[in-house]
Amino acid sequence: MKYISAIIFAIAIVLASYFLGNAYVERAQPKGVISVTGSGSENFTSDLIVWEGKFSRTFPNLKQAFEDLESDKEIVKQYLISKGIKSENIVFNSVQTIEQQENQYQNGNYVGSIFKGYELNQSVKIESVDVELIEKVSREITELLNKGVQFNSTPPRYYYTKISDLKISMISKATEDARLRAEKIAENSGGSLGKLNNASMGVFQITGQNSGEDYSWSGAYNTQDKKKTASITMRLEYEIE
C-alpha cells in the first residue's frame, strides 16, 4: 500500500513539474504581437461659407454719428440683398462706441488730451450654403465705397456640414489600411494574423488641398481654403499566430 502511494505521489510531482514548466515557458516566450498604423485621406469641397465685414462712422456729436451709421447699415443691407443674398442670412451685430482722444504735448511733454469725437463701429456676418455667391460678393464689396460707406471686409471662412459622416468614412479607410499592413507583415514573417488586441484613433486633420500646411498635434482645422483634405490615422495591435 505504501508502495502504491509513493508511485502516485511521484506521478503527481512529475505532472506538476510539467505544467509549471509549460507555464513558465509560455510566460517567458509570449505570443508575437504586431502594432501597425494605417492612414486614410479624402479630398472634399466646403459647403458652408461665413463672411464678415465692418463699417464705421466718426463724428463729434454722438447722435449724428449714430444716425450716419444707421444710414450706412441700410445701404449695406440693401446692397447685399441686391446681390442675391437673403435677408435671413445677414446678421448685424451691436454697435460699438469708442471715444476719440487726441494727446497734447508741450516741449515734448504730455500735458493731457482733448476730446475729438465718437467712433461708432458695426459688423455684419453672412452665413450661407451658397458658397460661390458669397465669394463673388466678397470680392465686389469695394463697390460700397462709391455709395459713401467705408466697409472693411475679412477673408471668408469655409466649413463642411457633413464632417461627422466624413470622419466615420476616414476611420474605416484608416482601419482597413492598417489591417492590410498587418496581414502583409504577418505573411512575410511566416505567420498569420490573430485576434485584434487593441485599436486607437490618431488625430483627425483638415488641411487645405496642396497647401503644404503643417499638421498639428492637437489636430489642424483649416478654414481658409474652400477645397480641403481630411486625414486620420488608426493604430491596431494584433496577435501573430
Do 141 and 65 reside in the same domain of the chain?
A: yes
Q: Is residue 13 part of a domain?
A: no
- CA-CA distance, 29 to 27, in Å (whole number)? 5
Do 95 and 114 reside in the same domain of the chain?
A: yes
pLDDT at 12: 47
Q: Is residue 8 part of a domain?
A: no
Q: Is residue 12 part of a domain?
A: no
Output the pTM of the full model: 0.76
- Three-class secondary structure of residue 207 per DSSP: strand
Do 54 and 103 reside in the same domain of the chain?
A: yes
pLDDT at 215: 72
- Three-class secondary structure of residue 212 per DSSP: coil
pLDDT at 28: 40
The residue from 156, 179, 201 where one domain ends is 156
pLDDT at 113: 81
Can you read off the three cell numbers belonging to residue 193?
Answer: 494574423
Which residue type, as a one-letter code, is found at position 189?
A: S
* Ramachandran bin of 68, using left for φ above 0, alpha for ψ from -120 to 50, beta for the remaining angles: alpha
| Residue whose entry in the numeric block shows the C-alpha cell 513539474 | 17
Do 54 and 132 reside in the same domain of the chain?
A: yes
SS3 content of the chain, % helix, strand, coil (to 5): 40, 40, 20
Do 56 and 134 reside in the same domain of the chain?
A: yes
Sign, Cα dihedral of 150, 156, 161, 164: negative
The residue from 128, 156, 184 where one domain ends is 156
Query: Which parts of the chain have pLDDT scores under 50?
Result: 2, 6, 9-10, 12, 14-30
pLDDT at 5: 54
Do 143 and 185 reside in the same domain of the chain?
A: no
CA distances for 39 relative to 83, 176, 177, 224, angstroms: 43, 9, 6, 24
Query: Number of folded domains in the chain?
Result: 2
**Displacement of CA 176 from its chain's centroid (Å):** 23
Range of the domain at 71: 50-156
Which CATH number goes with the domain that contains 184?
3.30.110.170
* Ramachandran bin of 8, using left for φ above 0, alpha for ψ from -120 to 50, beta for the remaining angles: alpha
- CA-CA distance, 74 to 66, in Å (whole number)? 12
Which CATH number goes with the domain that contains 60?
3.30.70.2970
Where does residue 100 rank: exposed (0-12), middle (13-18), buried (19+ CB within 10 A)?
A: middle
Q: Is residue 24 part of a domain?
A: no
- Three-class secondary structure of residue 163 per DSSP: helix
Can you read off the three cell numbers belonging to residue 134?
Answer: 458669397
Q: Is residue 14 part of a domain?
A: no
The residue from 108, 128, 156 where one domain ends is 156
- Angle at CA of residue 178, ends 174 and 183, nearest 5°: 150
Q: Is residue 100 part of a domain?
A: yes
